[in-house]
Structure 1
Amino acid sequence: MSENKSDSKSPATIEENSIERNSALETDHGRTHIDDVVVAKIAGMAAREVSGVHALGGGAARALGALRDMAGSRVDVRQGVSVEVGETQAAADVAIVAEYGVAIHELAEAIRRNIINAIERMTGLEVTEVNVTVHDVHLELDDDNEESAEEEVKEIEPAEVAAADHEPRVK
């Protein structure tokens, strides 16, 4: 019976373990709260650092990002990233476009490792999971098609656009 008492955790032992685990975010002088936006930015930057990642986000997120770029806005490093942040833990979901030719399973693992290392190092939060979704594979042909489409748009003369505006739309 005395063995059971020694195996059970006393309130002091539980409290000591909690303080030890949370020491980076909770001290005798106060608590530190890390906002979701901070963790999302760290995860986004960490994912972009991995060789083989072409872009972050699914199709809709990338389309909005392209519109933002054309308008001259800053790049949103949180694009393609969603996070959940608790008092001591964080989890992240990342959507990417991979470069053609990379081993996607190795790329996903490298992204996962880099995000975990960055979040834990910068925030002191424990990362419980990082889910990686690969939405697309980027081909060099995609760049060529985008450039030729941009050139075609630039080649249209203003007079042609004006004439097109004045033609009857219905007959």
Structure 2
Amino acid sequence: MTETRTSSVTAEQAPVRPHGGQGGSSLMTERGRTTIADEVVAKVAGMAAREIEGVHEFGAGGVRAFGAIKGALGGEDGVTKGVSVEVGERQAAADIHLVVEYGVAIPDLAQAVRGNVIRAVERMCGLEVTEVNIAVDDVHLPRQESSAPADGEPRVQ
């Protein structure tokens, strides 16, 4: 006698598979659709990028200046500053503007940020990330701790 096995997943629970087959998305099922706002994907991407050592800040000069003013007025320093995304039904793409710490290898940093953003967005949002473009807009230079000469002698007497 032949034994037949049935799946414990019902047709109502199974995800609808997109045509062209990359495995499917759990965002579209026979029982409904889950949509994720662009702002949510941008926050996930921004947090993932911040986790990488060597990233100092986000945004181009104008965005950083606006953020400083907003922060001084008590506004929230947004996680999405310097991050823009495009979100479709199954895919997302991100553009991230960074300020990097001086001395960091920029190609290695960009690769690490890109990989972390892709992993986070795909895991948390269930979207395929088609691209993560990184623009390095500035380098953060270390500040001197003191204006006194290194030998400890004052410059003028």
Q: Same fold per TM (> 0.5)?
A: yes
Instruction: Give the equivalent residue in structure 2 for 1:139.
Output: 141
Alpha-carbon distance, 1:50 to partner: 0.6
**Structure 2 residue runs without a partner (length 5+):** 1-15, 147-157
Q: Aligned AA for 2:69?
A: L
**Structure 1 residue runs without a partner (length 5+):** 1-14, 145-171
TM-score for both structures, normalised by structure 2: 0.77
Alpha-carbon distance, 1:17 to partner: 5.0
- Name the CA shift for 1:142/1:57 in 2 (closer, same or farther; >3 Å): farther
- Give the distance between the partners of 1:16 and 1:68, measured in 2 at CA: 44
Alpha-carbon distance, 1:28 to partner: 2.1
Instruction: Give the equivalent residue in structure 2 for 1:124.
Output: 126
Alpha-carbon distance, 1:141 to partner: 2.0
TM-score for both structures, normalised by structure 1: 0.71
Instruction: Give the equivalent residue in structure 1 for 2:116.
Output: 114
Partner SS for 2:129: strand
Instruction: Give the equivalent residue in structure 2 for 1:83.
Output: 85
1:32-111 matches, cutoff 5 A: 32-111=34-113
Higher helix share: 1
- Name the CA shift for 1:57/1:17 in 2 (closer, same or farther; >3 Å): closer
Larger Rg: 1
Would you say how many aligned residue pairs link Structure 1 and Structure 2? 131
Runs of 4+ in 1 over 6 A off after TM superposition: none
Partner SS for 1:133: strand
Quick check: 2:18–2:25 contact (8 Å CA) kept in 1?
no
